Structure formats: C-alpha cells, structure tokens
Amino acid sequence: MRNPQLNAKGELRHLLTIEGLPREILLQILDTAKSFLGVTEREVKKVPLLRGKSVFNLFFEPSTRTRTTFEIAAKRLSADVVNLAISTSSQTKGETLLDTVDNLSAMHADMFVVRHASSGAPFLIAGHVKPHVHVVNAGDGRHAHPTQGLLDAYTIRHYKQDFTRLSVAIVGDILHSRVARSLIHALTTLGTPDVRVIGPQTLLPTGVERLGVSVHHDMAAGLRDVDVIVMLRLQNERMRGPLLPSAGEFFKAYGLTPEKLALAKPDAIVMHPGPMNRGVEIDSSVADGAQAVILPQVTFGIAVRMAVMSILAGASA
C-alpha cells in the first residue's frame, strides 16, 4: 500500500503520521528545523518562503496552544494564516467535514493544518483535496500528532545527539495519547533501541508492545537508567472513572517526583507536551527543575513546524 503522505517521487506531500515515513525524511525535517531555529533568533524572524500562500488552521477540536504554534510558524514563513475553529455543532447542521474542506478550498487554501477529534480525519481530507494542496495533521483523535512527535525527537536530539544509544521512557496515559504514538514511531524509526511505556494496565492500549516498545507498570523499574523521560498529560475526564480511581492515586504511583527522577540517569532530561497538570503527572519541583526541557520544547516546536510546512509546500503533487 502506497504511503498516502508521499508523492510519486517519495517526497513528503502531507504530514499525517510519522508511522511508515523513511528515516531520511525525519532527518531532513530535523535538519531543516535546525536552520529555522536560527531564523527565530534573529531580529526579523521571518523568511519569505511561503509568501503569497494561504495556510488554513482548521481546528475541529479546540486547542489554542497548538493552533498558535502553527500560526506563528506559518507567519514566520510569510504565509497568510486563516484560523478557523469549527465547532462540531455546525457540522451537525448538515455540512460534512468534506463540505467544509471544499468550501475553504474554493478560497484557494494552499495548506490545511487539521486538528480533529476523530482518528484518521486528516487522511480523509488529504485524500480529497486537489493535488497542490497540502495537509498537516495537528492531532487526530488518539491516532497521531506528528509535529509533536517530531519536536520531541528534535528536543531529544538537541540534548542527547545520538538516538541509537538512548533509553526513553514515556509515562502515563498511553491509551488515549496521540503524542505517545507519534513519538514511539519517531524514536523507533530513528533507531532508538530502548523505548519504554509506563502506566497502569488500564491506560495502556492492547498490543502496544507490537509498536516496538517494552511495557512497564512500575516506575522504579521503568525509569531505571533512562536518558529521557516523557510525561504525558492526564486528561481531566480520565482522572476518575473506570480507568483510574483518582488523580491523587495516579500521582502516587506514576507522578514524576524528584525521588523517581533520581532513578534515571543523572543527566536525564524531562519532557512534557503540555499543558501540564502539576501534582497529577508531574511534581512542580521537577517541572521547574534543572532537568526539565519543557520550555525549549515549545521553542523547538515552532522551528519544527516551519520545517514541516516549508518541506510540504515545496513538494509537487
């Protein structure tokens, strides 16, 4: 089956998931992002690459933070940015997802940045748009959040250089996490030999080990000697119910405290995709501590999104 993200020449046309992308493309994105990082540190933080192009941020699920990072990235590439928050209620009025996309395409969109609560929605859009239009997945259901996975990979590369000798632990609600899935694919593609997921059985999806990770239920064993710890956000609605009894009980077992952090390598870095729940998955002293690289992640995220958009917009149909 042909990867729907690549054109006939094997260039990246849409970014929908990291799964199945060749290592060279991931490295190209990370290398290009490094160049853009220089741009974001200058007085004029803009380059004219996407001048005259229209980027539509199509958010069917609210997320100010992610939308803003894409908006900044697009603007730094000199694109015109249109932000659309589409409530699912307007969809229930009879306009389908593809109706919406057709409407916006008629306004000459060159790129759609799509966030949707339903896994696979960006694939549907990518399969529907005209050949010159590009689609970036900004998070679909539980499936993928590829730019987050790439910025996580960028961050890890920035601090640890070589993926091929790293141990990385991803902690928390793996079941509902598109961030975890995308990071797992990025790390395994980039040759990370030891990727661990840590969480209670209720928050680990069936067959997750088939993604190339080892499964731990115990932080003491799971964090031992890791180089990187990625803490996932625990959604409010998961904190009580059939999956977990309470936020407090989760924090006790899986919250990252200085004591648990001490099990990792002394130079281990702590990452979090944000927004954090202090005291639920991460202790404030760790979140603000010397090993946390949570704010650099945000900075790198802009450069990574600039890289993704500029590579996509340059790829032919």
Binding test (CB under 8 A) with another protein, winner from 14, 115, 134, 178: 178
DSSP string computed for 231-282: EPP--GGGSSSSS-S-HHHHHHHH-B-HHHHTTS-TT-EEE--S---BTTTB
* By CB under 8 A, residue 232 contacts another protein: no
CA distances from 94 to 89, 116, 272 (A): 9, 17, 38
* By CB under 8 A, residue 211 contacts another protein: yes
* By CB under 8 A, residue 257 contacts another protein: no
Binding test (CB under 8 A) with another protein, winner from 72, 85, 98, 215: 98
Q: Which residue bears the tokens 């060749």?
A: 22
Q: Which of 23, 46, 51, 65 is catalytic?
A: 65
* By CB under 8 A, residue 49 contacts another protein: yes
Answer yes or no: 157 catalytic.
no
Binding test (CB under 8 A) with another protein, winner from 58, 74, 81, 121: 121
Q: Which residues pair with 56 in a beta bridge?
A: 82, 112
Q: Which of 116, 145, 272, 305 is catalytic?
A: 145
Helix 146-160 with 23-40: angle, nearest 10 deg: 80
Distance CA 231, CA 256 (A): 8
* By CB under 8 A, residue 39 contacts another protein: yes
And the tokens for 136? Answer: 């970036």
Give the interface size with another protein as a residue count (CB under 8 A): 51
Q: Which of 115, 181, 238, 260 is catalytic?
A: 115
DSSP string computed for 10-40: S-B--B--STT--HHHHHHHHHHHHHHHHHH
Task: Looking at 130-177, list the stretches that DSSP marks H as alpha helix, in order from N- to C-terminal side.
Answer: 146-160
* By CB under 8 A, residue 34 contacts another protein: yes
* By CB under 8 A, residue 44 contacts another protein: yes
What minimum distance in Å lies between the beta carbon of 310 and another protein?
5
* By CB under 8 A, residue 37 contacts another protein: yes
For another protein, the binding residues (CB under 8 A) are 1, 4, 11, 16, 19, 28, 31-32, 34-39, 42-44, 46-49, 96-98, 116, 118-121, 123-124, 128, 140-144, 178, 181, 205-208, 210-211, 310-311, 313-316
Q: What amino acid positions are annotated as catalytic residues?
A: 65-66, 93, 115, 145
